[in-house]
Structure formats: C-alpha cells, structure tokens
Structure 1
Amino acid sequence: MTSRDQNHSPARSFLAGSVSGVTKLLVGHPFDTVKVRIQTGIYNSPWACLKGTIINEGMRGLYKGATPPLIGWAFMDSLMLGSLHNYKAAMRYQMNTDNLPVWAVGICGMGAGWTVSSIASPVEHIKVNLSLPLSKY
C-alpha cells in the first residue's frame, strides 16, 4: 500500500463526492427553477422570475423540488469520486508506483465516468420520458 493510499481512504472519496453533489445542487438548482418557470410560461425573463419567486415564496421557492436531485447528485458524485479513487489505487498497485502518469489518470477518469454513466444514463432516459406530455404516449 502506498503512502497516498494510507492517507486517503475510499470512504473519504465517497464522502467528498457526496459533498460535491450537495454543493452542485445548492448552486445550480435555483438556475433550474428559473429555467423551468420561464419554459412553462410562468415568467417572461430570468430577472422577473428570480424577483417574483423571492418576493412571493422567499428564497426557499428557488429550491422547490430539490430533494430528488439532491439525492441523485450526492449519489452520482459519490459514486464518481469513489470509483475514481478505487481505479487510481488499482492502477498504482498494478504499475507499482505512487505517481501515475497523466495517461493512467485519464484511463481512471474514463473508468469512473463509465461507472457513473452506466447508472445515470438509464435514470436520465426514464426522467426524460416521464417529462413528456401525455399526448406523446
């Protein structure tokens, strides 16, 4: 086991991924709320939507419907960073080195991306199909 492996456990990588997912939701969900409300014709502009939502619903209005994406982002980012850590540890073990070359880190990143997309892609497909108007069925 390398010194890097001793200082950085897979559990910490999965936890860091969860924190990453929560952070993305806290920053990004208000933009999604504004986008959806403009697309559905509730407001005419982003500024009017932001202003109207905060006046009528408070800041919490910008986070309506945030629970499902919160769980999804936390899980997906946890899986991505945790699997990246595990792929890198396996690659370091296989190559018998503490410092991976850039190409090896890239392969580990592709593995982590594949791991996440094998779960995220079907979930997104279902989400998109559920968001279609009933007349499409």
Structure 2
Amino acid sequence: MTPDDTDRAILRALTEDATLSSTALGERVGLSQPVAWRRVRRLQEAGILKGRRLDLDLEALGFGVTMFLGVKLAAKGRLDLTAFERAITAIPEVQTVEHVLGLYDYRLRVIARDIADFERVLRRRILTLPGVGNVEANVLLSEERRSGPI
C-alpha cells in the first residue's frame, strides 16, 4: 500500500494527537467518520500505523536524567548478540535498544532519577551483562520533537 495525501493527513493528525476519535479525525481531514475509520483501519492492516503511544513526562514522574549509551560488545558471535539483547531488554530503565552499524553495536536510551541512580544502573545492571565491552555515555540536555510523519 502506498499512502496518498489523505493518508498522510491522517498520519499527521494522529501524530499530533493519537487520542482523536474517528469523528474528530474525519472533521480534521475532511472525511466522514466511517471513511476516516476505514482509512485508519487500512493503515493499521498495512502495518504503516503500528499503534498509539502515551507520551509521558518523565521528569514529572521523577526521572530527571536521560542518557544515551553506545555499547560495543567484546565478542560478536550470534549467541553474544542474543544473550545481550535478552538481558538488556529486561532492564526497565532501558527505554530503547537499537542495534546499529558503526563505532558501537548498540545504542541505548536509559532513564534515571538522577546521576547517582544512573551510575547504579550502569554499574550493577548494564556493565555486568554478557558480552559488554566498551560503553560511552552521553547526557541528554534538551530534546526537540518534530511533529508529523516523514
């Protein structure tokens, strides 16, 4: 399925507010409620619209620090990748795990209450995982978000 201009308008509207009802969505993009609902359903079935997420205010929940970690594994066998991926996804502070090509093998987004909490997570959980070699940390200073799909 190739999205048309109406599909892109629907995706843009849902990116701005994923809680829109099909009636409100239809009004926003100039469609009737049933047509808007069918379009959303078709985008879901095609795998273009994968779901809707909550956008939590991590700072309000007590998580004031976000770090990005570059992780290079010491060994790169298939078992090492699988063991690392299984172990890293079990750590709740690790929000995203991205297998990347380049200087590091993985890029992680890690949240913590403060720097001391991050250090605890890093030392007790991440650095003890199977296969971990080098780790580089970068602190998130600010984040800008672009609205709308590509």
TM class, shorter-length? under 0.3
Q: TM-score by structure 2 length?
A: 0.24
TM-score normalised to the size of structure 1?
Answer: 0.25
